[in-house]
Amino acid sequence: MQSLPYWRLSSYYFFYFAFIGAFSPYFTLYLQSLSFSATDIAILMSLMQVMRILAPNLWGWLAERLGMRVPIVRLSALASLAGFSLFFMTTSFGGIFLGMALMGFFWSAALPLIESVTFDHLGREGHRYGGIRAWGSVGFIVAVLGIGYALDVLPVEAVLWMTAMVLGGIVVCAMLVPESGRPLAHTVTDSLATVLRRPEVRALLGACFFMSAAHGALYVFYSIYLVDNGYGKSVVGWMWTLGVVAEILVFLWMPRLARRFSLRAILLVSFLAAVARFVMIGWGVGSVTLILVAQLLHGVTFGAYHAAAISLVNQWFPGKLQSRGQALYGSLSFGAGGMLGGLLSGFTWDSLGASWTFTIGSGFALVGYFWLLLGWRPGGERST
């Protein structure tokens, strides 16, 4: 068996999530500087989620048919940078809409394929995934902190150049990531339809949809929310960083947690934590303590949740189904769920206010909790 390309995979995750750290917290501030309304901002940002519904399944199907994943990852990196370049040429709603659509269509292709490649390289050492994925969290921290401090002294338009540099890093790392030496086409006893008929699979995917919907307002409006309530941009960066530091710690602890608790139990706790977290954000913005606690809960509402969910997807969608399973997970959760949460927050932000918008997110998390609790009865699942 070939040696694990630990640093090449980790470097890709570093830059991939550094892009999210540069784009998600600060591009909304750039859009606000162009005088777009809350609804316009939500529509534009939700385009990324729309493309995560459509594109991953197309790219996953293509990777399965062609028996290759890394060439598609490389193409997506180049095309994402090309799409982003349109933001330098226009400030109109239509132009930015087109750039977001192009960038989102190609950018969303990469992560499910990279996750599949990573698990293939890990083989029986799947427990090491958290250590590799943690470098993505480090990349997020470097980007969100560095750009936060830079924007305290630079105009908000500088976020375009800094984000483009990160996308360039993704291109370089994509060229270095090797395809797995393990064949995609090892024996699979179940078809995709058979796997999807299993109640625990349907329960997981449905619950993941609601968890991403719960995070919709956070990813679209959290930075704007803090700045509007008197927090500086560097403080915004530290708030995002605090959540991701908690996420890293949870990723590193996941092997121990998974030995002590079932993945189902970890997921249920993460949903309850999300219920509490978004109520605290919505009604406690005036209390630094509550905002700090809410951000620490990101380690549970994303770190533990994502690590558990993606491990289950890896178990339940084996062999050639793995790319399709990862794509389906991304499409239903970060795609469809994120789109619903983001768009709804855009419509409620001005009409109901920030506090009730985040409370709606808490409600989505509560629905996800009961969906998982009632849909996946313990003891009835199979590991593959």
- Residue 317 is predicted with a pLDDT of 85
Q: 30, 11, 20: which is closest to 88 by C-alpha?
A: 30
Please state, for a pLDDT cut of 90, what percent of the chain lies above it: 56
122-164 pLDDT, tens per residue?
Answer: 877 766 777 788 898 889 889 989 998 999 899 999 999 999 9
Q: Which of 34-43, 97-106, 190-199, 255-264 has the lowest mean pLDDT?
A: 190-199
Confidence of residue 165 (pLDDT cuts 50, 70, 90): very high
Average pLDDT, stretch 283-311?
94
- Residue 181 is predicted with a pLDDT of 61
Q: Distance between CA atoms of 42 and 207, rounded to whole angstroms?
A: 23
- Sign of the CA dihedral running 192, 198, 204, 206: positive
17-65 pLDDT, tens per residue?
Answer: 999 999 988 999 999 999 999 999 999 998 888 888 878 778 877 877 7
**Contact predicate 96/90, CB 8 Å:** yes
253-267 pLDDT, tens per residue?
Answer: 888 888 899 999 999
- Residue 185 is predicted with a pLDDT of 47
Residue partners of 2: CB distance under 8 A and separation at least 6: 181
Q: Which of 69-78, 99-108, 190-199 has the lowest mean pLDDT?
A: 190-199
Tokens of 360: 């709606």
Q: Distance between CA atoms of 34 and 72, rounded to whole angstroms?
A: 34
Average pLDDT, stretch 98-112?
88
338-365 pLDDT, tens per residue?
Answer: 889 999 999 999 899 999 999 999 999 9
CA 191 to each of CA 153, 196, 317, 326, 328: distance values in angstroms, whole numbers, following the listed order = 55, 9, 9, 15, 14
- Residue 334 is predicted with a pLDDT of 84
Kindly tell me if the per-residue pLDDT of 1 is higher than 50. no
Q: Distance between CA atoms of 268 and 299, rounded to whole angstroms?
A: 14
What value does the mean pLDDT of the chain take? Answer: 88
Kindly tell me if the per-residue pLDDT of 381 is higher than 60. no
**Contact predicate 317/326, CB 8 Å:** yes
Residue partners of 168: CB distance under 8 A and separation at least 6: 81
300-333 pLDDT, tens per residue?
Answer: 999 999 989 988 988 888 777 776 787 788 888 8
Q: 229, 291, 220, 303: which is closest to 26 by C-alpha?
A: 220
Residue partners of 154: CB distance under 8 A and separation at least 6: none
3-state SS class at 269: helix
3-state SS class at 317: coil
Average pLDDT, stretch 153-182?
90
Tokens of 274: 């999300």
Confidence of residue 99 (pLDDT cuts 50, 70, 90): very high
Amino acid identity, position 201:
V
Q: Distance between CA atoms of 240 and 235, rounded to whole angstroms?
A: 9
- Residue 2 is predicted with a pLDDT of 57
Confidence of residue 115 (pLDDT cuts 50, 70, 90): confident
- Domains with residue ranges and CATH for the chain: 7-181+190-375 (1.20.1250.20)
**Contact predicate 150/158, CB 8 Å:** yes
